[in-house]
Copies of this chain bind each other. A is one copy, B any other.
Amino acid sequence: MLGSLLQAVRQTHPLIHCITNYVTINDCANILLAAGASPIMADAPEEAAAVTARSQGLTLNLGTLHAERIPAMLASGRQANASGIPAVLDPVGAGVSAFRAGAARQLLEAVQFAVIRGNLSEIRALADAGSHACGVDAGDSLTPQTLDACLELAGQLSRRTGAVVAVTGETDLVTDGETAYCIHNGHPMMRSVTGTGCQLSCLTAAFVAASPGQPLQAAAAAVCAMGLCGETAYARLSPADGNAAYRDKILDAVYRLTPAQLEEGARYELR
């Protein structure tokens, strides 16, 4: 089933509008091209909504956030809702500053997201911001040991926002508040490459855009694909290669990934 979701991306070439940070913006564009989608980056308030209106999906990423990018994100998010195309939120560093937490809150209030994807501390920052509940303690990272607590946290955020929530870490979780994919693809060295999370959020938008009505499965397929490509790329490293070679080989693995390979290589269980 997951293979057909990649096939849909390669066949429909969705145009994905990304309002994202400047650290990893080039890799975000190239991973979309690698997957068969098309990227368009535009973050000026003057044109953000117009660009979204031409697109099939939207990613909003809070990295290197600037004040003037917030109205652009709000306008694009609302346009995505009006157009009926999926919007993905990547709350990069939402727990790092009140500025980013406030922007995340504004966006969650104004926009119906199809998917929210972050690491555990980012997802917890969103959950706390909304509920003011502090009882949830899922630890600092998503591991097999913290899985149950994370599932609870992600499920609550999903039910509250109506978005599929994807939490990535040593294990990955993707849930719509009822069903959860626990995904075991990936490699620890991916943490040594800046922006693999940002790239995954863009990839998720492409998968969700290409398979309307299946955001849970499509987000899970994107997470499996990224992790699987991290494994494939790691296997191609020579002893002298480091994180720069790895960055490129992950993108190359996405470029070469076939639906059959994704189908066979995805390792997950449903909860």
A98 touching B39, Cβ below 8 Å: no
User: Which of A205-253 touch B at CB < 8 Å?
Assistant: 236, 240-245, 247-253
A192 touching B242, Cβ below 8 Å: no
Chain multiplicity (copies): 3
Within 8 Å of chain B (Cβ to Cβ): is A91? no
User: Which of A10-64 touch B at CB < 8 Å?
Assistant: 21-27, 29-30, 33-34, 39-44, 46-47, 50-51, 54, 63-64
Contact A195:B26 (CB < 8 A) given known A40-B93, A46-B67, A97-B47: yes
B240 touching A30, Cβ below 8 Å: no
Residues of B within 8 A of A26 (CB): 23-24, 26-27, 194-195
A170 CA to B195 CA in the complex, in Å? 32
Contact A255:B243 (CB < 8 A) given known A23-B25, A26-B194, A193-B30: yes
User: Which of A166-203 touch B at CB < 8 Å?
Assistant: 191-195
A254 CA to B240 CA in the complex, in Å? 10
- Report 19 cross-chain contacts, Cβ distance below 8 Å, ordered by A residue: A21-B41, A22-B22, A22-B41, A23-B29, A26-B26, A26-B27, A30-B247, A33-B191, A34-B192, A43-B64, A43-B66, A47-B98, A47-B99, A50-B96, A54-B96, A242-B252, A243-B252, A244-B252, A245-B252
Chain A residues in the interface with B (C-beta under 8 A): 21-27, 29-30, 33-34, 39-44, 46-47, 50-51, 54, 63-68, 93, 96-100, 191-195, 236, 240-245, 247-256
Besides A22-B22, A39-B194, 11 other CB < 8 A contacts?
A: A23-B26, A26-B27, A30-B247, A33-B193, A46-B99, A242-B251, A242-B252, A242-B256, A243-B251, A244-B248, A244-B251
